[in-house]
Amino acid sequence: MIENFLLYGQWVILILSILSLYLVSSVNHETRLNGYILTGLSRFSGALIFIFVDLFAFVIANLIQTYIAFNGYYKNKKYK
């Protein structure tokens, strides 16, 4: 069960990460905001994967990236 979660989860997270980078690089404000949300979700999902494989430094790095993504969303949401 865990092996399948890790095997398929990593690819789902990779696709989410690529999609979020595409959205964040948009010139459209609403699309960019959606990119921040998707970035936060994909980084948080990455942290969950790293917990299962005991890579706690990567868990911390992904949680920091999650915070930065959601913080960017809230800061940019104010300026609309």
Q: pLDDT at position 78, please?
A: 77
Residues 6+ apart with CB under 8 A from 37: 69, 70, 73
Letter string b/e over residues 10-25, b meaning 16 or more CB atoms within 10 A of that residue's CB: eeebeebbeebeebbe
Give the chain's domain count: 1
Q: In whole angstroms, give the CA distance from residue 68 to residue 71.
A: 5
Residues 6+ apart with CB under 8 A from 48: 9
Q: Which domain holds residue 17?
A: 2-78
In the chain, DSSP finds a helix count (H) and a strand count (E) of: 3, 0
pTM of structure = 0.84
Q: pLDDT at position 2, please?
A: 78
Each residue's pLDDT, cut to its tens digit, for the chain (80 residues) gives 778 888 888 899 999 999 999 999 999 999 999 999 999 999 999 999 899 888 999 999 999 999 999 999 998 887 66
Q: pLDDT at position 67, please?
A: 95
